[in-house]
Homo-oligomer: A and B are copies of this chain.
Amino acid sequence: MRLKRYIVPFMLSVFLLSFHTQVAPEVKEDVIRDVPLSPQTQTCLACHTTYTPGIVKDWQSSRHAGMIPSEALKKSLLEKRISAESLPDELGKYAVGCYECHSLNPERHKDSFSHMGFTINVVVTPDDCKTCHPTEAKQFYGSKKSHAVKNLLGNPVYNTLVSTITGVKKVENGKILSDKPSESTLHETCLGCHGTHIESKGLKIVTTGMGEISIPDLTNWPNQGVGRENPDGSLGACSACHARHSFSIEVARKPYTCSQCHLEPDVPAWNVYHESKHGGIFFSKYQEWSLNSVPWIVGKDFKTPSCATCHNSLLVSPTGDVIVERTHDFGSRLWVRIFGLIYSHPQPKSGNTTIIKNMDGLSLPTSFTGNLASEYLIDKTDQEERLNSMKKVCNTCHSTAWINGHFSKFERTIRETDEMTLAATKLMISAWEKEIEDKSNPFDEPIEQMWARQWLFYSNSIRYASAMTGAPDYTAFKNGWWYFNENLQHMKDWIEFKKRDQEVTTK
C-alpha cells in the first residue's frame, strides 16, 4: 500500500484548527451548535472534508450530526426518533458521526478493513442501525421488502420472468437465442430496486486522491436496493429510503423517494398518486408544510397525505391523540395485495414469500386460474383489522360514508380486474392447447407476453388507481382499460395469425 502516509496527521491538524463543532440540525445547516464529535469521527472528517466534501456536507445537514443520542433518549414518547431504551456508553456522548456507524459490529462484517488505523465497515446495514433503532429494524425484517432479493430470484416463476426479459438475445439462423442475464444487467434492472447480494472477495488496491489504498473487493457494489443482502449477513438497506448521509425523515416522507421503484408500468403508485387529488394538492402546497416533524400532526403539519402518511408514519391528531403507530413493516396496514401474482390476493403471512405453495405446486399466492393459496395468506379477521387501521387514516379528513363508498368501489375493481386477467389466461391456454406457443416458458413468446401485460401492467395499474381514487384518465386510457381491452383483442387476432401460419406451413 503506497499510501501517502503523511496525509492523515497533516489533514487532522489542519482540520482541528479550522473545523470545531460545525455540526447543525437538519435543514438549517448554517446554525452552529455545540455538539461534540468523537475523536475518531474528527479524524475521518479531517481527510474526507477534502476528499469527499459532498458526503461531509450532507452529513452535517443531518439530525445525526446535530444531536447527542443520550439527549434524544430523553424526549417524550411521541417525539422520539430512536427506539432503543438505552445505548452503549461510547455512543451516548457524541454526535452520530462517520465512525459511530461505520465501526459497528466489525466481527460480523466481511467488508471490514483496516483504514488509516481504524477498523471500518464499508456497508452500514440494518443490523448496525438497530443499535439505536431496534423497533424499526425488527418491523423491517418482518416485511416483504427485507426479503426482496430472495423473493424474486428464489422463486422459479419470477426467476424465469427475470431471465427471459434481461438476458441478451442473439439471432442465429433466423432464431432468437437468449443468454443468461449478466449480474451487471440484473443489478441495474430488477435488482436495482430489490437489492443485490454483496460479498467480499478479499482486498483490492485502488488509486485515490490520497494515493493507493487497500479496500474490500465487494461484488455488486454500489447498491441501495431495499432488500440488499449485506456482507454482515443482514438483509436490507435503510438508505434505500433514508437516502445517503442526511438520513432525512423528510426525504423519506416525500413521494419522490418511493417513486424510484413504485412506477409504471408494473407498480404505478407514483404515477397514479401524481395524477390524484391527493397528489395534486401535495405538489401544489407541500412547500408550506412540515415534513420533518415528529410527531406528525394531521392538518397542522400537512393537509394531504404522501405515501408515508398512509403506509408508515406515526400520525397524531391536533389534540395529541395517536391515530396510527409508526411502522417499518410496509404491508402492515394493507389487507389485500393488489400487485397480482397473477391475481390479487390477501397479503401473505410471512415477508418471505418463497415458502408459499399454491395448488399448482408453485410458489405463487394464486393458482393459474385464480385459486388462493389461503394457508399462506392472512385471513378475513386480519384483513379486517388492517383495513380498519387504514380507515383511521382516511377518517382524519373524510367522513365514514365517503370512506365506505371508496372502499366498496375498490373491492369491485379488484374483482373485475381479476376477471379480465382470467379472460387473458383462457386465451393463452387455448393457444398452448393448439400448440401455437409453447408453455414450457410462459414469458418468451408474443402471445404469452401479451398475457403477462394483462396482469402485470394493466390489472395492476387499474387497481393502484382505484386504491388511491386517483388518475381516472390513467385508468381509462393510459395503461388502463383501453389497453386492457385492446391487448385482449390483439391476443385473439395474433392467435389467429399464428394458427393460420401453422396451417399453411403444415399443408
Residues of A within 8 A of B (CB): 27, 49-58, 61, 122, 164-166, 168-171, 174, 176, 182, 184-185, 187-193, 206-209, 215, 218, 221-222, 224-225, 243-244, 246, 248, 250-251, 254, 256-257, 259-267, 274-277, 279-281, 283-285, 287-288, 298-300, 303, 317-319, 395-402, 404-406, 408-409, 412-413, 416, 419-420, 422-424, 426-427, 430, 444-446, 449, 457, 465-466, 469-478, 480-482, 484-486, 488-490, 492-494, 496-498, 500-501, 503-505
Pairs A–B under 8 Å by Cβ, sample size 22? A51-B395, A53-B298, A55-B299, A166-B481, A168-B420, A176-B423, A184-B409, A185-B412, A185-B416, A188-B466, A189-B476, A189-B481, A218-B405, A221-B401, A221-B402, A222-B406, A244-B397, A246-B303, A251-B280, A260-B280, A263-B478, A493-B498
Q: Which residue in B260, B276, B493 is a CB contact (below 8 Å) of A277?
A: B260
Interface residue from B261, B493, B500 paired with A472 (Cβ < 8 Å): B261
Knowing A52-B397, A243-B280, say if A472 contacts B189 (CB, 8 Å).
Answer: yes
Q: Which of chain B's residues have a CB closer than 8 A to the CB of A473?
A: 192-193, 260-263, 266-267
A419 and B170 contact, Cβ closer than 8 Å, known pairs A413-B188, A475-B192, A492-B176: yes
* Interface pair B402/A222, CB less than 8 Å apart: yes
Other A-B contacts than A49-B318, A185-B416, A248-B284, 20 sampled, CB-CB below 8 A, are A50-B319, A54-B298, A58-B397, A169-B485, A184-B413, A188-B475, A189-B475, A206-B404, A215-B401, A221-B405, A222-B398, A222-B406, A244-B397, A250-B285, A264-B477, A446-B493, A449-B485, A457-B477, A496-B498, A504-B504
Give bound CA distance, A409 to B274, whole Å.
Answer: 32
Identity of the chain B residue whose Cβ is nearest the Cβ of A392 in the assembled complex? B209
User: Does A446 contact B224, Cβ atoms closer than 8 Å?
Assistant: no
Contacts of A299 in B (CB 8 A): 53-58
| B281–A244 CB distance below 8 A | yes
Closest B residue to A210 using CB positions? B400
**Complex interface: chain B residues within 8 A of A170 (CB):** 419, 423
